[in-house]
Amino acid sequence: MSVASIGVFDSGVGGLSVLREIRSQLPYAELVYVADQAFAPYGERGLNAVRERAFAITEYLIDAGATTVVVACNSASAAALHELRERFPATSFVGMEPAVKPAAGVTKRGTIGVLATEATFQGELFASVVDRHARGVSVVARACPGLAAAIEDGRDVDVLVTQFTSDVVGRGSDIIVLGCTHYSFVADRIRAVAGPGVEVIDPAPAVARQTARMCGDKVTAVQGSSRYLTTGDAGRFAEQIERLLGARAEVRSVAIPVGTDSPISVVQGDITRQNVDVVVNAANANLAHGGGVAAAIARAGGPSVDEESRAWVAENGPVSRGAAAVTTAGEMEARHIVHVVGPVYRGVPDDELHLAEATRAALDASVRLGAASVAIPAISAGIYGYPLADACRVIVGTVGGWLDAGGALDDIRLVAFDDRTAEQFGLALRSAGE
């Protein structure tokens, strides 16, 4: 990387609004963007959880060569900016701060509105900004649950934008501060709802200018580059970049553990697109990949997966409980598929034992293959009927116990195909760490 290597991160696509402004200010800089989509949205997480994610991603960016890190997320800035500067004193940081100061300076009615996430309002940063810059001014702090997630997913936001914007305008605000980077992408809609007498302030350009002041003299006179990484689904993030920035980009999926000493992470996305050594398949005993995760893996891997599966069963017989079958991964990025058979849920104590055996079998087989990384789905939680929260708890507990007993893999990804599964894996992982 060049001297001016700038890391930018957010829980999802919101920080792309900041990245866009930084690129306009620093066309020759090397930029690395991390979307922590496996843990999105930050605004609906607790401050401690967001702070731990900020530490982990910052360490990742520094290891990748970043000398400046832009925390392109108001929630993460509120939760961790001060602590990041203390923990990484050799790194320069630029954070997001709700633009209360300029808003307070131009309001004519003496009332400003701030649209942000609940996490932003919970942090000490927001309270400090209001105390320093908004004395004598009424601040209407409006949390906007669901708005960032809707923007992330590309869903219609008109109802939410109308509700939140009308609330702060109805309470007398003549200035609206966008306190979440996601909201930059719907700023025009917010302006339309607010009406011509209300100014909307987007802090992204100011953050970009500050970044340019810190890094501009270090930029080398070569064409700049941008790298896009996500802890979620690379294909989905590439589609979001094209939708929001109007540009096609190559995206790579990465695993960033919650702590530096843990190989376990939760990744939301398509398990067939994970760049790992081993993908775990929740199979049936005959390796007939007719539905659920098994069908998705067989489709992504191509005809060879079914062919090798039939050959394996013909030679070895059905996959027994607590055992694993191994095939190549065909057309997927992974090298191997480890097929394990989880329980068909019956609501009996043996279900948990069976699921734990399948999970351990997948881990043991991965080690025997010489793998360093493995992607594990919510085994048995789909068409096999295992209650999702219970399945995630058993899988996480089994992985943790396997590691405690001396098992070793560098990267263990618990892959969730939807928000609900990601949430349950995350809850189970955090509960196990308490």
- Which sequence positions are flagged as catalytic? 73, 180
Give me the residues paired with residue 376 across strands: 414
**CA–CA separation, 399 and 407 (whole Å):** 9
Q: Considering only CA atoms, which of 332, 333, 290, 340 is closest in space to residue 312?
A: 340
